[in-house]
Amino acid sequence: MLIEFSVKNFMSFKDKVTLTMEKGTGTENPDNAFKINNLELLKTAAIYGANASGKSNLLKAFSCAILMIRTSNLMPINGKWNIIKPFLFDKNSNNKPSEFEFIILVNKIKYKYSFSADANNIYNESLSAYYTQKPTNIFTRTNINTYEFGIDKNKLEALTINNTANKLFLSTATTWNYDKTKDVFLWFHNAIDTYISFNAIYDQEIIEYKKDEKLKEFALKLLKEADILIKDIHVDYEEKELTNSTVNNISSLLKNTKNYEIKNVNIELEHEVKDAKNNTHTYNLKIDDESSGTKALFALAPFLKRAFESPRVMLIDELEKSMHPAIIEFIIKLFNNKSINKFHSQLIFTTHATNLLNIEILRRDQVWFTEKNPDNGSSDLYPLDSFSVRKEENIEKGYLSGRYGAIPFIRDIDLW
């Protein structure tokens, strides 16, 4: 589970900002939080803000850090991390590394992992584990290649020779079978993902729909609950074997790279309708002919199913794309429902859907805002519960009126 994420000097975030999933002091909606290891964490968080205020950049910071951890071992000696983009509107920040910090809970152990990097080097990196109330330092890296170890010094010191200035030691140590970094690395590899949209259906999800009857059942229930009446789902495709030369040129983050590709994909959703005489007929529509909302839910279904089968963190940019606000509310309620979300998966999303700003849907500590400083172009991130918000207050009205900031300031101008 994600406890906290911080970022500094990345894209529009000049100064350090922190998103925390720890439950605040409010007592509303107790089912929206869960308790584990004396920690009370939130299941969902919504991030609001004007266009270009930094909402998407926060998710890009997550993506950058996660991708670096996952692919560090693929980085050649002289390779560059071109995905790192420091804050550019300041001469000092422009030449400093970006900083990322995660506090996570994996297999009931809390870890704190951080690193700073620019395109060329990893400057600082550290991992601590809370085996007890006090943190145990596993390793600390400073000045690119200076290491200190709190445990297993001889074993870890021997592994530093396999690391390079542009690689993360977390990844290198795990690759060389150091057990105390493995759980953290695998959490980043398997349990957290960022998503831009669900407007496209990818090969892996197409394969799952073909081979997993339980996914079809889940998707049909999801569509039905969203008031989209689909009787059945039909998925068909052909598998084309790849040549050895093609396989060798593929770089994939999937754990098991397949030696084939799928082609001639046909996805149809079966509708059941009644005519004027009350006779029932079935019609199949190709997925491309369905509404944008139906396609988005169909694409989202496999990811939701996985989230409710094992603990995961889903970060989605503009969750409401192509979907009705009521469907977004429905998805949030799925995550907050303890009988459905049994593994305490977490959903973090950016949105403009103000109907969600309701104490009946989201707690005050589940709502966050991004706002850009008009003078220097830097973004800030802050929670709703940093304001004195009463339970009976109309939060949506307060937000739209500008009480909490994070809305565009529209000037009356003559464009002509």
The pLDDT of residue 397 is: 81
Among 81-85, 133-137, 207-211, which stretch is predicted with the lowest mean pLDDT? 207-211
Q: Break the chain into its structural domains and give their ranges.
A: 1-191+311-416, 200-309
Among 14-28, 214-228, 402-416, which stretch is predicted with the lowest mean pLDDT? 402-416
Please check the confidence at residue 252 and state whether its pLDDT lies above 60.
no
The pLDDT of residue 255 is: 40
- As a whole number of angstroms, the distance between CA 224 and CA 378 comes to 43
Average pLDDT over residues 330-352: 93
Of the two residues 119 and 259, the one the predictor is more confident about is 119
SS3 assignment, position 192: strand
Please check the confidence at residue 188 and state whether its pLDDT lies above 90.
yes
Please check the confidence at residue 405 and state whether its pLDDT lies above 80.
no
Give the residue among 45, 53, 38 at the shortest CA–CA distance from 4.
45
**Tokens representing residue 171 in the block:** 């990844």
* Residue 264: pLDDT band with limits 50, 70, 90: confident
Give the torsion through C-alpha atoms of 105, 108, 109, 114, to 10 deg.
Answer: -10
pTM of the model: 0.89
* Residue 412: pLDDT band with limits 50, 70, 90: low
Rg (CA), the chain: 23
State the architecture of 1-191+311-416 in CATH terms.
3-Layer(aba) Sandwich (3.40)
- As a whole number of angstroms, the distance between CA 343 and CA 355 comes to 27
* Residue 260: pLDDT band with limits 50, 70, 90: low
Average pLDDT over residues 151-179: 96
Average pLDDT over residues 280-292: 88
Helix (H) or strand (E) holding 325: helix 325-336
Q: Tell me the three-class secondary structure of 97-144, residue by residue.
A: CEEEEEEEEECCEEEEEEEEECCCCEEEEEEEEECCCCCEEEEEEECC
Place of tokens 């000696």: 77
* Residue 256: pLDDT band with limits 50, 70, 90: very low
* Residue 124: pLDDT band with limits 50, 70, 90: very high
For 83-123, how does the pLDDT look when each residue is reduced to its tens digit (9 = 90+)?
Answer: 999 999 988 888 999 999 999 999 999 999 999 999 999 99
Average pLDDT over residues 129-149: 96
Which DSSP category does 242 fall into?
A: P
Mean pLDDT computed over every residue of the chain: 88
The pLDDT of residue 59 is: 95
The pLDDT of residue 246 is: 37
Average pLDDT over residues 267-277: 87
Contact 217, 99 (CB under 8 A): no
* Residue 197: pLDDT band with limits 50, 70, 90: confident
Average pLDDT over residues 353-369: 91
The pLDDT of residue 150 is: 95
Could you tell me the CA-to-CA distances from 254 to 106, 175, 180, 251 in Å, in that order? 21, 16, 23, 9
Average pLDDT over residues 199-209: 81
- As a whole number of angstroms, the distance between CA 100 and CA 112 comes to 11
Average pLDDT over residues 45-67: 94
Among 52-61, 77-86, 113-122, 201-210, which stretch is predicted with the lowest mean pLDDT? 201-210
